[in-house]
A and B are shown apart, each in its own frame.
Chain A
């Protein structure tokens, strides 16, 4: 649960975004506390990905502001802002012409880290995401989908950002691999305590990973609840979501996170 007294890691203040006549986001007010995993849940086109991209300024709001650690993100240098925020997308978006090590080490290299430190960091991160050290020399096309996604997470963590944005990172994986990665994500998060904003349309995934679930519908935030609260919510949208996913959700909630 967010601590009301501390400065939130991320704060959306009355944010709206529209493209031409299309209202993508309307009057979004939301706080993400430091160290929590906030899952943005909603169907396609509900504005969750846009919400995520507002944080690292891949999208600029039409009105309102976004604060990162209390500072308006438009006041920060955009490159610095982004390097301080890890970003993981579906299919990982790895650079196909770089080895795994260069993929992970790109931002550290640009930041001027010495070679040895980059190599050591890459090894450390590969270990952290459960990959063998020899993967470092491979190219993305030589990896399985699950391995690629792990590398994507390792790359996002390379420069040790305090905030992690994850846009349906496990969406394209087969159910077994997804299950593995979700479990590892929980373990990782118990160790690292990053502030994570995680986009998904999968309620099961949301219940399992989230400390809070922010439900979005048609560009508006419907409600933000803990997984347990979400299951018992009387909110029509939340209830509809729970109904759509059917039985067995209770066991999914908080199987990992506490």
Chain B
């Protein structure tokens, strides 16, 4: 197994790039949640905003990732450091599944339950934090799960603009026409994606217990 030997021989670099990869994915997903969850809540409560916001997120999703990196490159503060740029791009891609699932989760809360809560004298924010968000949580998390898996894959392309991550190996391998090097990036990336999927999935299931 040439690939395995290559990975073992270069394990420090593999680990370093894996770590970089995780960092890009982690930061961008957290940012996407910070923006996407409130937006999802907003459009669930203001149905008029739902179409434009979801359409916007959809449009972002359709931009090819390499092109998006290219578009963002000349932007002043962003272009200075490629990891900023990569994080922004990854975040933009993670938005759609998070916004959509938050929207679905919140609007799926039984209207009778909300009315009972309102009638009991819960304020809108108590209703949101005690009732709507807990009930929507597992749906929101399944959106996060999709977002993370997408981000792990997309982050390999971030290496094209020098943002690091496991894509470095993939691009280097492509240039060297050496499958071992490509796989040294691709295999850990695939494992990361699987691990992320399984762990967020586990969290989702645990929280759905009720």
Give me the interface of A with B, judged by CB distance under 8 Å: 56, 58, 78-85, 87, 89-97, 106-107, 110, 139, 141, 152, 155-156, 165
Contacts and interface: CB of A to CB of B under 8 A. Distances in A.
Contacts of A58: 115, 118-119
A96 B119 contact: no
Interface in B93-147: 110, 112-113, 115-123, 126, 130-131, 134-135
B61 to A, nearest CB: 31
Interface residues of B, number: 18
Contact of B113 (A81, A90, A94): A94
13 contacts: A58-B118, A58-B119, A79-B121, A93-B112, A93-B116, A94-B113, A95-B130, A96-B110, A96-B135, A106-B120, A107-B120, A107-B121, A107-B122
Nearest to A91: B112
Contacts of B116: 87, 89, 92-95, 152
B210 interface: yes
Nearest to A155: B120
Contact of A87 (B120, B134, B135): B120
A58 B117 CA distance: 11
A139 B209 CA distance: 11
Contacts of B115: 58, 89, 93
Contacts of B131: 95, 97
A79 B135 CA distance: 23
A165 B135 contact: no
Contacts of A96: 110, 113, 135, 210
A110 B122 contact: yes
Contacts of A85: 119
Nearest to A52: B119
Contacts of B110: 93, 96
A156 B119 CA distance: 10
Given A82-B118, A93-B113, A110-B122, 18 more contacts: A78-B121, A79-B121, A83-B120, A83-B121, A87-B116, A87-B119, A89-B115, A89-B119, A92-B116, A94-B113, A95-B130, A95-B131, A97-B131, A97-B134, A106-B122, A107-B120, A107-B122, A165-B119
Contacts of A106: 120, 122, 130
A110 B126 contact: yes
Contact of B120 (A82, A91, A97): A82
B113 A95 contact: yes
Nearest to A90: B112
What 10 pairs between A and B have smallest CB-CB spacing? A93-B116, A82-B121, A87-B119, A83-B121, A93-B112, A97-B210, A79-B121, A93-B113, A97-B134, A107-B120
B112 to A, nearest CB: 4
Centre residue among A81, A91, A96 by max chain B CB count within 10 A: A96
A95 B117 contact: yes
B102 to A, nearest CB: 17
A79 B112 contact: no
A90 to B, nearest CB: 8
Interface string B19-31: 0000000000000
B107 to A, nearest CB: 16
A139 B131 CA distance: 14
Interface in B140-159: none
Contacts of B126: 110
Contacts of B122: 79, 106-107, 110
A155 B131 CA distance: 16
Contacts of A93: 110, 112-113, 115-117
Contacts of B121: 78-84, 107
Interface string B27-43: 00000000000000000
Nearest to A55: B119
Contacts of A156: 120
B69 to A, nearest CB: 42
Nearest to A156: B120
B112 A89 contact: yes
B80 to A, nearest CB: 46
Nearest to B131: A95
Nearest to A152: B116
B119 A97 contact: no
Nearest to B210: A97
Contacts of A79: 121-123
Q: Which residue, A56, A94, A95, has most C-beta atoms of chain B within 10 A?
A: A95
